[in-house]
Amino acid sequence: MDTAEPVYIAGAYEHPTRNAPDKSTEQLHAEVARGALQDAGLSKADVDGYLTAGVPEHEDGLPSLTPLIMADYLGLDVAFADSTDFGGSAYMSHVGHAVSAIRDGKCDVALVTLAGRPRSAQQATGTGVRALTAVQDTYERLYGATTLAHYAMAARRHMAEFGTTSEQLAEVRVAAAHHAQYNEHARFRDPVSIEDVVGSRMVADPLHLMDCCVITDGGGALVVVSDAVRDELDRECVEVLGHGEAIAHHDAGRIDLTRTGAVDSGRRAFAEAGLGPDDVDYASIYDSFTITVVETLEDLGFCEKGEGGTFVEGGTLQAPDGDLPFNTDGGGLCSNHPNRGGMTKIIECVRQLRGEANPEVQVDADVGVAHGTGGSIATRHGSVTLVLGGEDR
């Protein structure tokens, strides 16, 4: 990729709300779009590409109409649009697709937005049986299989195969909570201990309540720009060094609950960046559940398969001094998860690389990874990995 035109994230904005009972989802999209454009120093008229997925309150089997609905609402005039929907990891995919579109000359300023209101809508996220959107869902729905149960089955298998313990999974929540105490917007800001996590209510054995992400309203947006646009901006930007995606699924009944699509998306993203896990200073890892993080760390190559539990022990993930600081905003486990947590993973990675993270958790980072897992690792999921680089790299 050395010869490819560099493409940058110039604007990033996370909505401060975690509870928006008096706003529409579309309104949140508009507020984060405005925030990200202001952050970049650009105006709406500069936008010629738009990417989004899911208007969760109104999902009715027509997700492909989302960019039409939202471009109408926002009054956008764009030459490129994309609605790739991998669930929570869609927004990482959008960044990768925006990079390609910009390199192809299809657009110069691509806006990516996410908004959701599951908290105000009182959605039974996690403990609800997913709505039927495809015939395949019937093979899961009939069994009362919730998203939480899916990930709990992954955790159980990981424990059975590799000896991973509940205390090791708890290390992930402890690190996230440690970071969240410095984030004034985080949903839960109290530090917790391993004992607190394993002592919290068992919701789907072996996962406890504190192994699960929060349910919030909120959203975020990004502005991806060409090299030429970046030259005109008075703004520190983050380069998109690599992008990789993969879809993993039942595999005709050969599903491996200990292996995620991150094996493939990570390999592809690192290859494109010409970098490897050893080069990474900071990691934003989709944390729908603590087990998601442990499996993803293994699959991205930060440790061997099966050693994720040992890897996270002893504060590895805690900023600023851990070997691999992660989710320094508190992540989905403690800060923000508006149905879909991929967007906030990118935003916090951008903050770290621009030196704009909360001071207590700011690390000296030149290279960051943002990784998303959308859907469910126990059925079908889209994994997307971004490798991002700071300006002074």
Partner 1 sequence: MTWEPRPSPVVTPENEPYWTGGLDGELRIQRCRDCDLVYVYPRAHCPDCLGDGVEWFVASGRGTVYSYTVAHQVAGWPEAELPLVNAYVELDEGPRLMTNLVDCDPADVAVGVSVEVRFEPSEDGAFAVPVFTPV
DSSP state letters, 5-31: PP-EEEEEEE---S--TTS-HHHHHHH
> Cα separation of 63 and 69, whole Å?
10
Q: Which of 36, 241, 350, 378 binds partner 1 (CB under 8 A)?
A: 378
Of residues 62 and 143, the one with the C-beta less far from partner 1: 143
350 token code pair? 């951008």
Q: Residue 144, interface with partner 1 (CB under 8 A)?
A: yes
Query: Where does this chain touch partner 1 (CB under 8 A) — which range of 11-19, 186-194, 245-253, 335-343?
Result: 245-253
- Does 28 engage in binding with partner 1 (CB under 8 A)? no
Please give the backbone phi and psi of residue 244, each rounded to the nearest 5 degrees, phi first.
-145, 145
Position 206 contacts partner 1 (CB under 8 A): yes
Q: How far is the CB of 285 from partner 1 (least distance, A)?
A: 22
Residue list 73-132, contact with partner 1 (CB under 8 A): 124, 127-129, 132
Establish if 140 lies at the interface with partner 1 (CB under 8 A).
yes
Residue 4: Cβ-neighbour burial (10 angstroms; 0-12, 13-18, 19+): exposed
Positive/negative CA dihedral, 96, 74, 56, 197: positive
What letter represents residue 232's amino acid?
Answer: E
How many Å apart are CA 70 and CA 258, to the nearest integer?
37
Which part of the chain contacts partner 1 (CB under 8 A), choosing from 9-17, 185-193, 247-255, 317-325? 247-255
Q: Can you tell me which of 106, 141, 185, 305 binds partner 1, judged by CB under 8 A?
A: 141
Please pick, from the candidates 69, 71, 202, 271, the single residue that binds partner 1 as defined by CB under 8 A: 202
Tokens at 55, concatenated: 């208007």
Binding segment for partner 1 (CB under 8 A), chosen from 50-58, 75-83, 151-159, 345-353, is 151-159
Q: Rounded distance, CA 70 to CA 238, Å?
A: 26
Task: Report the interface residues with partner 1, using CB under 8 A.
Answer: 124, 127-129, 132, 135-146, 148-149, 152-157, 160, 201-207, 250, 252-255, 257, 378-379
